[in-house]
A = this chain, B = another copy of it.
């Protein structure tokens, strides 16, 4: 008897909505000699491996119950307390009940989808939209209402009405690197308060600011309106240790009203029961030791220099074919083709033949239609590689144009 694969039940429909470009650039890491400027990867030389190794050893030896047993679904109480303290301010009063520890920032997105989306539910999402958020919510086949924050007459309240939630990355957005300005932040928060819409503030890059001090968080602006203890407003603030210590810990958090934390906890129960006590205790040890504060200045310096190197090379080799703004933080330059007919999905294929990988804009559009821009990462590679990568990209652009003429 054989396995009759043809008679197997159908896979869920959402699996038909993923795109080939995603798979192609995920596979790029395995090609020898290729310069990968596609991913959102930190520089591995910034990982504080020796410090984390020792924190891990002590955490497990001294807290075997916390690290090796099942823990509370919401996270270890000491870690929730530490995060509540870290993000509290004069206006923002956080307690443990405001904090859910998640197994990566991505899990936070997945859980938000689980508790707020029925199939086909509406999301008001900052456009272009973080690819990982699209991936997290795809199983619910949601409808996206695009928030074009820069457009004249942008009216958040109208766009929020009827949406299950709004999704934003105010600090150095993935993919555009854009910093949302203070008036727009205030408008988003006002709209959330007026309409009751949950407002997700995804903030993996907030610590990576190169030119100016950070702007107030959306949750901070919201707290100035409510001033309740614990905070019970409409903002869900999401953070992660991936860019500030190391992605391999897979530690993130959601800070929100207790009623939201309670339902997210129910969703987490059926997702992975609880986050690893080993990685939670490492995170707590790192926070207590001030590890982020120790290593952040060097990371910021390193990435600022790499941003400058990338932008200089782009000015030299790509200014004829692309335009961009220099980002004041984060990990990415977003460049739009001057030629309206340049399809960046096709450019990716050509670029990979030239030995460089970038991310085409289509993957940041739920409809897959935006094909005129590219996202270029500057944190993973050294300046020499960045320059060589840009040269290869310019070669690919010229080859495409020559081919068409």
Contact = CB atoms under 8 A, between A and B. Distances in A.
B61 A47 contact: no
B57 A53 contact: yes
A12 interface: yes
Contact of A104 (B3, B68, B273): B273
Nearest to A13: B118
A375 interface: no
A185 B6 CA distance: 23
Listed residue (A4, A11, A233) with the most chain B CB atoms within 10 angstroms of its CB = A11
Nearest to A138: B270
Interface in A209-235: 222, 225-226, 228, 232-234
A272 B110 contact: yes
A159 to B, nearest CB: 14
A196 interface: yes
Interface residues of A, number: 98
A122 to B, nearest CB: 9
Contacts of A2: 193, 225-226
Interface stretch (A174-182, A241-249, A319-327, A335-343): A241-249
Interface string A1-27: 111111111011101001000000010
Contact of A44 (B5, B68, B163, B234): B68
Contact of A263 (B15, B39, B275): B15
Nearest to A63: B49
B60 A52 contact: yes
A44 B56 contact: no
Given A139-B267, A197-B9, A69 B44 contact: yes
Nearest to A30: B72
B41 A68 contact: no
Contacts of A278: 56, 248-249, 278-279, 282
A contacts with B: majority SS: helix
A36 B190 CA distance: 47
B8 A70 contact: no
Contacts of A44: 64-65, 68-69
Nearest to A60: B53
A136 interface: yes
Nearest to A164: B9
A165 to B, nearest CB: 7
A9 to B, nearest CB: 5
Interface string A127-146: 00000100111110000000
A108 B165 CA distance: 28
Contact of A232 (B3, B6, B15): B3
A166 to B, nearest CB: 11
A167 B360 CA distance: 41
A88 interface: no
20 contacts: A3-B226, A4-B194, A5-B196, A9-B165, A9-B198, A44-B69, A49-B61, A49-B68, A53-B61, A54-B57, A68-B246, A68-B247, A68-B249, A103-B103, A106-B270, A106-B273, A132-B273, A139-B270, A248-B278, A250-B273
List the 8 closest pairs (A to B, CB-CB), nearest first.
A7-B196, A135-B270, A49-B64, A68-B246, A248-B277, A57-B57, A53-B60, A68-B248
